Amino acid sequence: MKQPISITSVSSISPLGSDLESTWEAYLNGQHYLTKKRFGDQKEWVSAIQQEDIQKINEIKNADPKYRSLDKTVLYALFAARKAVSMAGWQLGDDFGINIGSSRGATELFETYHEEFLANGKNSTLSSPTTTLGNISSWLAHDLKTHGPEISHSITCSTGLHAVLNGVAWLQSGMAHKFLVGGSEAPLTPFTISQMKALKVYSRRGLHEEVNFPCLALEMEKKENTMVLGEGASVACLEVGEKKNALAQIVGVGYATEPLKHNISISTDALCFQRSMKMALGDISPSEVDVVVMHAPGTIKGDSSEIKAIKKIFGGNLPLMTTNKWKLGHTFASSGVLSLELAVLMLQEQCLISTPFQTISDVKKLKRIMVNAVGFGGNAVSVLIDKP
């Protein structure tokens, strides 16, 4: 990279909470935040925003008549973005860019409008502008009164980290000096859950008996796929160069896509991750990376292929490996930036957050952490951060 990119704030709303203190406390305990919710005549595992935080979202929704028709993906992003901008010391009306992505966009609202169309043969006036994918960043630009570029995109589960890539590219090019990046997702609908079940990746553990952990992300002896969906938004404020208020610095980014054998394929040793991690490392020795926050969705092939890729790249200098999906589920577009938030918090607190399925001792000082994300189509991103 030409020069480091400072992360001057991170903010999220997720099943773990809506501020950094509550999120860190949630990470320190050994509990998961997955719960059973009824969809039609069946119960499924999901990870949902806490009720006290839903009240905060409703306050945003009801404070402005224009916001009452917005989908939760936009409202979650608004909440997280307002906090991130304030924490970074940015002002409303500043000339900063925005890139907030979503894998599925206005999921709940789109399905509601579609049901309305099937029933009545016509739609409400706002059905198009409130479900168009680009409306997330557009509403944030309106709310934050920025005059910079605003970008929306969807690159499946790596969407959030692709937003980070885009922000870094704009900053390195000199076309912007500040960028707000992240992802937002609210996929807890019957149709989306049914789609994941059709792929045969969704967790069936403990639906009819008691289990400790419905999602076995990074548990390598599992005999079944155990992915669980969650919801939320996570964003970060990026600024070019070294900043005194930086929480962490981005010192490397990488990306790669591998050839497909079928619609959701990934190779046995995740060639896309090998290439993205190697690119992110650049001239940095693999031995200098202390932790990899993995994508690790809790599926047999997804977890094992990423571990094999890490072993290929790091060899005898294996970093510690962790993931947060056993605790808060897979939040699609926002998952990568939630992983980035965890990495930043671990650097700040100098504390490793591991999974319940690992025994880790003698943790050294944390200096550099790599964050991975991948989506359908073998579209991988790796971001390397260090402590300023």
pLDDT at residue 199, rounded to an integer: 92
- pLDDT of 129 > 80? The answer is yes
Q: What is the pTM of this model?
A: 0.96
pLDDT at residue 202, rounded to an integer: 97
Asked whether the beta carbons of 328 and 47 are under 8 A apart, the reply is yes
pLDDT in tens, 243-253: 999 999 999 99
| Residues 216, 296 within the same domain | no
Strand ranges (DSSP E) for the chain? 5-13, 35-39, 42-47, 97-101, 150-151, 178-185, 229-230, 232-240, 248-257, 291-293, 320-322, 368-375, 379-386
d(CA 19, CA 9): 12
Mean of the pLDDT values across residues 216-238?
A: 97
Please state the φ and ψ torsions of residue 192, each to the nearest 5 degrees: -70, -40
How many residues in total does the chain contain? 388
pLDDT at residue 364, rounded to an integer: 80
Q: Of the ranges 196-210, 319-333, 339-353, which one carries the lowest mean pLDDT score? A: 196-210
| Residues 208, 259 within the same domain | no
Q: State the Rg of the chain over Cα.
A: 20
| Residues 202, 261 within the same domain | no
| Residues 187, 302 within the same domain | no
Domain presence at residue 245: no
Asked whether the beta carbons of 285 and 294 are under 8 A apart, the reply is no
pLDDT category of residue 263 using cuts at 50, 70 and 90: very low
Percentage above 70 pLDDT, the chain: 97
Torsion angle defined by CA atoms of residues 12, 18, 21 and 26, in that order, rounded to the nearest 10 degrees: -90
pLDDT at residue 137, rounded to an integer: 96
pLDDT at residue 312, rounded to an integer: 96
Domain presence at residue 211: yes
pLDDT at residue 201, rounded to an integer: 95
| Residues 329, 223 within the same domain | no
Domain presence at residue 102: yes
pLDDT category of residue 260 using cuts at 50, 70 and 90: low
| Residues 158, 122 within the same domain | yes
| Residues 57, 105 within the same domain | yes
Of 240, 267, 302, which residue sits at a domain end?
240
| Residues 254, 235 within the same domain | no
Whether the CA torsion 104, 108, 113, 116 is positive or negative: it is positive
Domain presence at residue 148: yes
pLDDT at residue 360, rounded to an integer: 81
Domain at 368, CATH number: 3.40.47.10
pLDDT category of residue 209 using cuts at 50, 70 and 90: confident
| Residues 106, 217 within the same domain | yes
pLDDT in tens, 338-358: 999 999 999 999 999 999 998
pLDDT in tens, 156-167: 899 999 999 999
Of 240, 263, 280, which residue sits at a domain end?
240
Domain presence at residue 382: yes
pLDDT at residue 219, rounded to an integer: 96
β-strands 97-101, 150-151: how paired?
A: parallel
Q: How many domains does the chain have?
A: 2
pLDDT at residue 264, rounded to an integer: 47
| Residues 220, 272 within the same domain | no
- pLDDT of 376 > 80? The answer is no
pLDDT at residue 386, rounded to an integer: 97
| Residues 42, 168 within the same domain | yes
Domain presence at residue 362: yes
Cα 28–chain centre separation: 19
pLDDT category of residue 1 using cuts at 50, 70 and 90: confident
Q: Is 354 exposed, middle or buried (0-12, 13-18, 19+ CB in 10 A)?
A: middle
Of 208, 240, 272, which residue sits at a domain end?
240
Mean of the pLDDT values across residues 239-243?
A: 96
pLDDT at residue 187, rounded to an integer: 96
d(CA 212, CA 323): 17
User: Among candidates 290, 237, 223, 280, which has minimal Cα distance to 255?
Assistant: 280
Give the full edge-to-edge strand order of the sheet including 150-151: 5-13, 232-240, 178-185, 97-101, 150-151
pLDDT at residue 208, rounded to an integer: 86
pLDDT in tens, 287-305: 999 999 999 999 999 999 9
pLDDT at residue 150, rounded to an integer: 95
| Residues 229, 260 within the same domain | no
Average pLDDT, the chain: 94
pLDDT at residue 262, rounded to an integer: 44
d(CA 329, CA 63): 30
Range of the domain at 190: 5-240
